[in-house]
């Protein structure tokens, strides 16, 4: 979480920092701040809330331009969202911004307090700043202080620093958290992601852990323990387009609406002559042929997409799969057999727990495959292989197209693995590829039914709690449906395996409690319906999302939403669109902040 942008050059630091922070706002938006410096003076500007508030404050510096500056957008870890806790922090001769968590900050704080340091915030970052100040000596280069601090600090961090006496320079170091150096036509940049660099810098260098970057208005140097080196520049392929919402009321709705056309654009690069083809991802077909077991590791919605992936992989490729929540993976601990493939699924490619899981699996000799949206992200770079989901930038905090494209890619990859290991022939594979491609027409139909979903949202939006129930793969969709509803409309939604409810949880059903059932499988339909009826008999207000598996569909529940499509795949993807729109409509009717829900950030870069 937290976004960092730094700049040194001939342009306007104010402009660059504010534009960069706008792009980085998805990483946290409870406060923002900036630091600007020139030969004569410096300014620290901080505000609670969004970057737009910071912009208003920075406007007050009108008429002043600065060649050097940095900015920060915060997702609170230590200390509530407030102006005091916002970055930058300045202690003595050092000013910094920080992304990450310093685990031993209390111990350091106690030590520094004894030698006279006082603190204005509750943050671990201010403590790190004081530590740097305590090590910074006038007659020594700032790198000495940074390396001293590096030895003491435990945790994850990306820092950008300014040191008194070095008005033209910025310094940066990282461990665990991402930070990139960029080179543009008018100076040098530091940023938490490549997207924030893309409007300004066509070349980048990803800092290696332990290296210190020093940028000035004319130069960029990398200090290593063995001396100073020049960065080896890579091309920044990301083209950030400030398209705005294109007339939609929210980014989430825009992104939901992009999904029909994404089906083909996401998959077509991996299909050749009607068959799955992952040459573009440089996959080793030989290594994959030997795979005996698959671990899918991810967080949140990406973990829910992984559950769908498990189903597709087991059904098509007949390889046993286990799905792990990334924050638990290292502690389960997983059992690796020879030829285990570990698939990391992540939209941002920067989720700290997923990165740690990838490193854990790699260190133990396993092959790793990233299924990632963000190009150039840590997971994309460090996994042995990477398949991009090609969803384009996702700006709404709640993922929609990110999740859908993960499910699509996992489906195609499952067909690829089954063909590669000769479990199916080319004809079957082609037919499965056609099946998945055809879901675009189906979901377009579902999109056109937003009004129907809006009407259903009216029925549930005021419920304090709600249940989603389903069996088999439908349960995996329930998990996603419940998460979407919780995160943007703040309804306490729980997903339950339909048959499990009566083993305790059914006692929570009262008159009017909404219970939403998902049924995309004809085979499981009757059983799911029985479970739904069990809740109805206890007063639940029941809603069924289902394929047309009975002639009396409208008599089963209080409300029935007939999914579009005929094939299982069409019903699944129609349901995905429906659950997204239902959550969106609930949040809209409740007046919630849809694109930036409270307490959240898009990229979770702390464990």
**Which residue ranges make up the site for ligand F6R (CB under 6 A)?**
299-302, 346-348, 351, 354, 398-399, 483, 487, 603-604
Which residues, listed in sequence order, are joined to residue 206 by a DSSP beta bridge? 180
Cβ proximity to ligand F6R, 212 vs 577, nearer residue: 577
Sign of CA pseudo-dihedral 241, 245, 251, 252: negative
Note if 386 is an active site residue: no
Instruction: Give the helix/strand (H/E) hosting 264.
Output: helix 251-267
The 8-class DSSP code of residue 176 comes to B
CB 584 → ligand F6R: shortest distance, Å?
Answer: 12
Considering the complex, state which of residue 347 and residue 535 has its C-beta at the smaller distance from ligand F6R. Answer: 347
Q: How far is the CB of 603 from ligand F6R (least distance, A)?
A: 6
Nearest distance, CB of residue 313 and ligand F6R, angstroms: 19
Q: What H or E segment, with its residue span, contains residue 522?
A: helix 522-536
Under 8 Å CB-to-CB from 596, ≥6 apart: which residues?
Answer: 25, 29, 50, 397
Q: Taking the complex as a whole, how short is the minimal distance between the CB of residue 596 and ligand F6R, in angstroms?
A: 12
Three-state DSSP class for 258? Answer: helix
Q: Which of 48, 90, 310, 602 is the catalytic position?
A: 602
Choosing from 2, 129, 478, 592, which is the catalytic residue?
Answer: 2
Task: Determine the Cα–Cα distance for residues 14 and 486; give it in Å rounded to an integer.
Answer: 37
For ligand F6R, the nearest residue by Cβ is: 300
Cβ atoms 85, 97 nearer than 8 A? no
Cβ atoms within 10 A of the Cβ of 428, count? 14
- Write the DSSP symbol of residue 499: G
Min dist. Cβ of residue 484 to ligand F6R (A): 6
Rounded Cα distance, 330 and 60, in Å: 49
For the CB of residue 374, give the shortest distance to ligand F6R in the complex, in Å: 8
End-to-end CA distance of the chain: 10
Of residues 100, 72, 99, the one with CA closest to residue 86: 72
Is position 2 annotated as part of the catalytic site?
A: yes
Q: Closer CB to ligand F6R, residue 383 or residue 521?
A: 383
Contact by Cβ (8 Å): 172, 179: yes
Q: CA 420, CA 403: separation in Å to the nearest integer?
A: 25
CA dihedral 211, 217, 219, 220 (to 10 degrees): 20
Q: Which is nearer to ligand F6R, 124 or 255 (CB)?
A: 255
Q: Kindly tell me the number of DSSP H helices and DSSP E strands found in the chain.
A: 20, 27
With the C-alpha atoms ordered 183, 219, 158, 325, is the resulting torsion angle positive or negative?
positive
Q: Rounded to the nearest whole angstrom, what is the least distance from the CB of residue 414 to ligand F6R in the complex?
A: 19
Cβ nearer to ligand F6R, comparing 513 with 605:
605
Reduced to 3 states, what is the DSSP secondary structure of residue 284?
coil
Cβ-based nearer residue to ligand F6R, 482 or 509: 482
Return the residue matching tokens 């915030």. 121
CA 168 to chain centre: 34
Which residue's CB is nearer to ligand F6R, number 83 or number 598?
A: 598
Characterize 195-211 residue by residue with b for buried, 16 or more Cβ atoms within 10 angstroms of its Cβ, and e for exposed.
bbbbbbbbebbbbeeeb
Which residue is it, tokens 């939209």?
Answer: 347
CA count, 13 A, side-chain hemisphere, 440: 16
For 536, counting Cβ atoms within 10 Å of its Cβ (0-12 exposed, 13-18 middle, 19+ buried), the class is middle
Nearest to 602 by CA among 312, 414, 410, 347: 347
Residue 95 or 405: the one with the smaller Cβ distance to ligand F6R is 405
Burial 431-468 (b: 16+ CB within 10 A, else e): ebbeebbbbbebbbebbebbebbbebbeebbebeebbb
Q: Which residues does the annotation mark as catalytic? A: 2, 602
């Amino acid at each position: 979480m937290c976004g960092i942008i730094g700049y040194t050059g001939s342009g306007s630091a104010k402009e660059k920092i504010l534009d960069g922070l706008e792009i980085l706002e998805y990483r946290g938006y409870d406060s923002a701040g900036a630091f600007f410096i020139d030969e004569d003076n410096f300014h620290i500007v901080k505000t609670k809330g969004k970057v737009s508030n910071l912009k208003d404050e920075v406007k007050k510096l009108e008429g002043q331009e600065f060649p050097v500056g940095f900015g920060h957008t915060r997702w609170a870890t230590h200390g509530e969202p407030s102006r005091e806790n916002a970055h930058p922090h300045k202690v003595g001769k050092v000013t910094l911004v920080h992304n990450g968590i310093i685990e031993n900050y209390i111990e350091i704080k106690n030590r520094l307090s004894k030698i006279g340091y006082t603190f204005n915030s509750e943050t671990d970052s201010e403590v790190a700043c004081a530590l740097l100040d305590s090590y910074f000596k006038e007659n020594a280069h700032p790198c000495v202080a940074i390396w001293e601090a590096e030895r003491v600090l435990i945790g994850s961090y990306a820092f950008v620093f300014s040191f008194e006496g070095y008005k033209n320079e910025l310094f940066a170091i990282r461990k665990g958290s991402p930070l990139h150096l960029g080179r543009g036509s008018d100076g040098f940049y530091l940023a938490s992601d490549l997207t924030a660099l893309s409007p300004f810098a066509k070349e980048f260098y990803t800092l290696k852990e332990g290296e210190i970057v020093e940028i000035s208005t004319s130069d960029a140097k990398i200090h290593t323990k063995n001396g100073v080196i020049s960065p080896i520049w890579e091309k920044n392929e990301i083209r950030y387009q400030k398209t705005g919402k294109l007339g939609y009321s929210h980014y989430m709705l825009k992104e939901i609406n992009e999904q029909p056309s994404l089906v083909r654009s996401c998959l077509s690069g991996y299909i050749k002559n009607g068959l799955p083809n992952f040459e573009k991802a440089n996959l080793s077909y030989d290594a994959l042929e030997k795979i005996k077991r698959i671990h899918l590791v991810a967080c949140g919605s990406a973990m829910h997409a992984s559950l769908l992936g498990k189903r597709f992989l087991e059904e098509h490729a007949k390889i046993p799969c286990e799905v792990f929540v990334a924050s638990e993976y290292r502690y389960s601990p997983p059992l690796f057999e020879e030829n285990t493939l570990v698939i990391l699924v992540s939209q941002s490619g920067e989720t700290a727990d997923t990165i740690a899981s990838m490193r854990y699996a790699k260190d133990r000799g396993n092959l790793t495959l990233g299924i990632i949206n963000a190009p150039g992200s840590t997971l994309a770079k460090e996994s042995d292989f990477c398949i991009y989901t090609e969803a384009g930038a996702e700006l709404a905090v709640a993922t929609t197209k990110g999740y859908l494209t993960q499910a699509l890619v996992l489906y195609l990859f499952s067909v690829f693995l089954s063909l590669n290991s000769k479990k199916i022939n080319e004809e079957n594979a082609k037919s499965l590829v056609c099946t998945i491609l055809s879901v675009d027409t189906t979901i377009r139909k579902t999109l056109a039914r937003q009004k129907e979903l809006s009407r259903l949202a009216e029925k549930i939006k005021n419920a304090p709690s709600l249940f989603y129930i389903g069996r088999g793969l439908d349960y995996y969709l329930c998990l996603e449906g419940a998460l979407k509803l919780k995160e943007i409309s703040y309804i306490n939604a729980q997903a339950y395996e339909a048959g499990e409810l009566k083993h305790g949880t059914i006692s929570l059903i009262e008159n009017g409690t909404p219970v939403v059932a998902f049924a995309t499988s004809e085979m499981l339909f009757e059983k799911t319906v029985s479970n739904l009826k069990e809740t109805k008999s206890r007063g639940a207000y029941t809603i069924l999302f289902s394929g047309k598996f009975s002639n009396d569909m409208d008599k089963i529940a209080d409300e029935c939403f007939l999914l579009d499509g005929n094939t299982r795949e069409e019903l699944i993807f129609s349901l995905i669109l429906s659950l997204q729109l239902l959550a969106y409509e609930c949040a809209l009717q409740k007046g919630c902040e849809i694109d930036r829900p409270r307490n959240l950030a898009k990229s979770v870069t702390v464990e």
